[in-house]
Structure 1
Amino acid sequence: MGKFFGSIKPFLLFLPFCAGVFLGADDQTKVVTILPEIMIDFEIPIHELGKASWLVTAYLIGYTAIMPFIGRVSDKYGYRTTFLVALIIFMIGSAATAISPELSKIGGNSPNMGWIIGTRVLQSLGGGALIPISIAAAGYLIPRNKHAIAYGLIGASAEAGGVIGPLFGGAVTEFLNWRWAFWLNIPLTLITIIFLFKCPKGNKYPVKLDFLGAIIFASFLAFLTAGLSQIGEKNNLGIMLIVISIISLFFTIVRHKTTEYSIIPRNLLSKPGFSASNITHLFIGAALIIAMVTVPVMSQTLFSESPLEGGLKLLRLTIALSIGAFLGGILTQRFGTRIPIIIGLTMTTIGFFLMSNWGIDPVIKDPWISIHLSITGFGFGLCIAPIMEAALDKIKSSERGSASSILTVSRMMGQTFGLAILTAWGTSRFAKLTKDMPEFSLDPFGQQKFTEAALAAGEKVFQGFFLAGAIVSIIGIIPAIMMSKSKRNNK
């Protein structure tokens, strides 16, 4: 019995980190369902939806931009201290977001959207720090031969939070109001902090922090994320932001080559296993966002289901993903990193191909919906632990935070690229498919013809999205083959 409790104690100490990751991911997505209520409070008309969408974009920008720097900070000050500070920032940002309508009226009677966007950025700086610090903490708290299982738990926590977020936001808005979606973060974060103090502080390393390099690199990520989010809009803002991001990338490279203590340790990028893992992670991020966006949108538009029903559909994928993440850790221990990830990406390819046949004539129904989503989600889950294991294998303890951050950024950028390309391509393809569509008519027969043509075009667009997901998954297998095939059996 004592041996059993001794084996699970490290994982019990690790639970606060999984809880923090869950909260950060949940906050990233729950705003989607509470956005209409926020628009009412801030007096934003429906034709200015683009302005309100910055609530989502602002969080994504901060979430991505903070990651590279926070990894280096955790190397210097220890994972527990850095994680604690991140949780406090997240909690302050949550409270500020909840009272943002009152804050926005300071100096005027009309609410100002800039306030809530600013508080969301503050939230994201805390939320974005949680995943890379947790990955680094796993290397300290968990025995070496159990690292892969810990990585699987982190991935499962992040994905569960991302999908439960919209459901949580919708439920809170239904019974209370949108502010409570943020107020409830405070007690949940405080509980996490209490259990965090049960953890050891972790090692501190005398690494130097490159603040200038961090600002330049964060600028690159922020401008690129913002620019890609504008693809498809009828303005030049997106192009201008992407140009600025390219300039920032140039200065990031110059800084990386000229400073002794770069934000990305030089030897990391020279490791083939680390580079291959990041490239694979980028493709997985792009494929995953295709599933996460297409399933609920297709559910609501093509199948005329409620947002809750769309969220519940996606929940099937997430549950399978969480199970796959845990089993992926066990398989990685036994077979190394290559076999689980190749199996995982093969399963996602098959799952996407099956989903590309979803349609309204005949209408796809259960159990096939659940089977297809489970195959896809389980495949994604299998990939989480082996990617982290391959990327962090043979990385010095003093660089684990930095390595974890870069690995997380690669997936976030994959999601950003994937979403931007998906949006632009989908809009263009739908316009092309509907250019010969009959005009809308008040005549019932004409209305039926119009509706049928629109649904047929939408069906083809969504099926194309799923085929794109299958192609991206297949491409991801190529760098996965180049990953290190480490198998840790030492403690």
Structure 2
Amino acid sequence: MRIWGPLAAICLGTFMLLVDVTIVVVALPSMSESLGSSLSQLQWVADGYALAVAAALLGAGMLADLHGRRRVYVAGLIVFALASVACALAPGMGWLIAARLVQGVGAAAMFTTTLSLISTLYSGRRLGLAFGVWAAVASSAASLGPVLGGLLTQALDWRWIFYVNVPFTALALAMTFRFIPRSAPVRQTARRLDVPGVALFALGAGGLVYTLTASHSHGWAAAPTLVPLALALVALAVFVVVQRRTAHPLLDLSLFRRPAFSAAMLTIALGEAAVYGVLPYTSLWLQSVQGLSPVGTGLVVLPHALAAALVAVVSGRWMPRPSPRLGATLGLTLAGLGMGLEGFLGPDSGWPALVGGLALSGVGMGLIFQVAAALALGSVPPERAGMAGGAYSTFEQLGYAFGVAAFGTLAVTTMSRCLNGTVTAPHEAAQTLSGGGADTLLAAAPASRRDALDHTLHAVFASAHNTLALTAAALCLSGAAFTLWLTRSRVRSRAAVRDAVPVRDADAVRDTDAVRDTPGAPGPAGRGTPEYEG
């Protein structure tokens, strides 16, 4: 248990927090029926959690470096459990969205410490295996969320998708205290939490997601869209300036000079945005148009989860030193081809039309999770492990949040255009349909027109889903080409690495040069292995 105990404790927390990203997907129609909601509110139930995770990750990573990773991980578990209970007790959508935001803050404290804990607890080939197991859990969790959500929603009630977190959190806490040793803080003189950086990043990221969500309700030219967009862009610009000038930044921007690090961030963000950003609308198509149950919807997605988990484990075992040129490029390419296969639905298509594409995109995502995580940690010195892990997790959750919001806007726009001339208020009908309200539109139509309208809605939703899937495919394939270009130089020299590290880290780089290579070690460059630059 000395080997598997810590990994089980870490992976249990990872599984819970990532399951909660997508577990709500199949429960959205039930939530809407129970609490009453608009499409924007449903998006915030899914998006608010991911956005809170992304906004808090960098700050949580710095706290973990300052106060100890196990301590921050435990605090995150406790906040996550309490917020889950608040979600389950929500009397309305406002309460639920607020509780999801708090739940995301707890998840951020858990998520930002998982990779750095693994990188400090394991070395050599065990580190490669640990990354593979972690990646399998991460990729399967996001995919199994709809399955578990469907089972709980159909057998009990949508509130149980949150209640179920409590016993698993208790188990994770017990295992953490039992198997994970207390970690010492990374002691750096006069280093404090970058509060302005945390606030500016949260404001910028939140403003952009809000802009995307509001755009399909108000239009891009309206003040409710343009004002938050302007504020978000200003906040992000100031964030960059502050990070470049502060002595102890929340995110050291010089890390992006390392091609492997940049490739890792690009790969995980695009993969999450393209594959999992479309998944909520796939779920709505399966339930509201195809009439599948929540469990049936989850089972349709199951091939994706199984493929992702299997590939993550195999790649972690057989590719201990992942190459961004091979792993990241291949992962994005397979994910893009899988999404492309999902983009050819017709009015009479059923769920079998999606299975092949879901499985292939699962293969791509399994590779992406394993490779991107190892590259993010392996391309930085050990004292930057917390920051690198936080950056990886931030880009992952931002990718999902932006994907859901952007594809929601695209779905409404496409449906509105297809419904123009068919219904009296195409934009309002598009918002209802994209929110899973096909039955509502049919019930409001005269009985003599329902059969024709039903066929129209099938065609409109299929057309919108095709647009989303093909757009996602184009994003993945473009990202694969850019990653291939970015990593065109295979390995950079140590002198180049020193040039890329700020003066304040020069001593750390000299220290890592003195460490002897660990044979077969896939771990961080600080352990003496070559930089993962291609």
Contact 1:277–1:480 (CA under 8 A) maintained in structure 2 = no
Partner of 2:471: 468
**Counterpart residue type for residue 20 of structure 1:** G
Contact 2:263–2:328 (CA under 8 A) maintained in structure 1 = no
Contact 2:267–2:368 (CA under 8 A) maintained in structure 1 = no
Partner of 2:103: 123
What CA distance in whole angstroms lies between the structure 2 residues aligned with 1:340 and 1:194? 36
Partner of 1:108: none
In the alignment, is residue 395 of structure 1 matched against residue 380 of structure 2?
yes
Partner of 2:527: none
Partner of 1:80: 70
SS in 1 for 2:414: helix
In the alignment, is residue 186 of structure 1 matched against residue 186 of structure 2?
no
**Counterpart residue type for residue 395 of structure 2:** S
Residue 179 (structure 1) shift = 4.2
Q: 1:158 to 1:238 in 2, by over 3 A?
A: farther
Q: 1:174 to 1:288 in 2, by over 3 A?
A: closer
Contact 1:302–1:360 (CA under 8 A) maintained in structure 2 = no
Partner of 2:457: 454
**Counterpart residue type for residue 334 of structure 2:** M
SS in 2 for 1:226: helix
Calculate the TM-score normalised by the size of structure 2.
0.79
Cα deviations by residue, 1:46-73 (Å, 9 ceiling, x for unpaired): 5x56446543343233222111111111
Q: 1:77 to 1:144 in 2, by over 3 A?
A: farther
Residue 95 (structure 1) shift = 3.0
Q: 1:315 to 1:365 in 2, by over 3 A?
A: closer
Structural mapping, 1:267-278, within 5 Å: 267-278=254-265
SS in 2 for 1:232: helix
What CA distance in whole angstroms lies between the structure 1 residues aligned with 2:101 and 2:403? 22
SS in 1 for 2:3: helix
Contact 1:72–1:402 (CA under 8 A) maintained in structure 2 = yes
Structural mapping, 1:241-280, within 5 Å: 241-280=228-267
Contact 2:204–2:231 (CA under 8 A) maintained in structure 1 = yes
**Counterpart residue type for residue 201 of structure 1:** R
Partner of 1:232: 216
Partner of 2:405: 420
Contact 1:146–1:333 (CA under 8 A) maintained in structure 2 = no
Partner of 2:5: 12
Partner of 1:490: 521
Q: Which moved more, 1:254-263 or 1:474-483?
A: 474-483
Contact 2:43–2:213 (CA under 8 A) maintained in structure 1 = no
Q: 1:345 to 1:228 in 2, by over 3 A?
A: same
**Counterpart residue type for residue 317 of structure 2:** I
Contact 1:55–1:116 (CA under 8 A) maintained in structure 2 = yes
What CA distance in whole angstroms lies between the structure 2 residues aligned with 1:488 and 1:419? 42
RMSD over aligned CA atoms reads: 3.0
**Counterpart residue type for residue 221 of structure 1:** A
Calculate the TM-score normalised by the size of structure 1.
0.85
Contact 2:407–2:468 (CA under 8 A) maintained in structure 1 = yes
SS in 1 for 2:319: helix
Residue 382 (structure 1) shift = 1.1
Residue 415 (structure 1) shift = 2.2
Partner of 2:514: none
Q: 1:255 to 1:331 in 2, by over 3 A?
A: same
Cα deviations by residue, 1:95-117 (Å, 9 ceiling, x for unpaired): 3334454xxxxxxxxxx654443
Residue 203 (structure 1) shift = 4.0
SS in 2 for 1:304: coil
In the alignment, is residue 135 of structure 1 matched against residue 121 of structure 2?
no
Residue 183 (structure 1) shift = 3.1
SS in 2 for 1:75: helix
What CA distance in whole angstroms lies between the structure 2 residues aligned with 1:155 and 1:129? 18
What CA distance in whole angstroms lies between the structure 1 residues aligned with 2:156 and 2:462? 36
What CA distance in whole angstroms lies between the structure 2 residues aligned with 1:423 and 1:191? 36
Q: 1:413 to 1:182 in 2, by over 3 A?
A: closer
Cα deviations by residue, 1:359-408 (Å, 9 ceiling, x for unpaired): 345x4565x64333212211111121212222222412111111111122
Please, which of 151, 172, 180 is the counterpart of residue 199 of structure 1? 180
Contact 1:151–1:385 (CA under 8 A) maintained in structure 2 = yes
What CA distance in whole angstroms lies between the structure 2 residues aligned with 1:244 and 1:83? 32
Please, which of 134, 144, 153 is the counterpart of residue 154 of structure 1? 134
What CA distance in whole angstroms lies between the structure 2 residues aligned with 1:221 and 1:227? 10
Cα deviations by residue, 1:193-252 (Å, 9 ceiling, x for unpaired): 111121122342114222222222222222223332223112643332222111211221
Q: Which moved more, 1:127-136 or 1:267-276?
A: 267-276
Partner of 2:497: none
Contact 1:276–1:480 (CA under 8 A) maintained in structure 2 = yes
Partner of 2:272: 285
What CA distance in whole angstroms lies between the structure 1 residues aligned with 2:462 and 2:478? 25
Contact 2:264–2:328 (CA under 8 A) maintained in structure 1 = no
Identical aligned residues as a percent:
23
What CA distance in whole angstroms lies between the structure 2 residues aligned with 1:419 and 1:38? 18
Q: Which moved more, 1:170-179 or 1:235-244?
A: 170-179
Q: 1:320 to 1:294 in 2, by over 3 A?
A: farther
Residue 168 (structure 1) shift = 3.3
**Counterpart residue type for residue 200 of structure 2:** I
**Counterpart residue type for residue 72 of structure 1:** M
Contact 1:283–1:475 (CA under 8 A) maintained in structure 2 = no
Partner of 2:203: 219
What CA distance in whole angstroms lies between the structure 2 residues aligned with 1:329 and 1:389? 9
In the alignment, is residue 89 of structure 1 matched against residue 83 of structure 2?
no
What CA distance in whole angstroms lies between the structure 1 residues aligned with 2:31 and 2:463? 33
What CA distance in whole angstroms lies between the structure 2 residues aligned with 1:380 and 1:82? 28
Q: Which moved more, 1:174-183 or 1:374-383?
A: 174-183
Partner of 2:389: 404
Q: Which moved more, 1:132-141 or 1:172-181?
A: 172-181
Partner of 1:381: 366
Residue 125 (structure 1) shift = 0.7
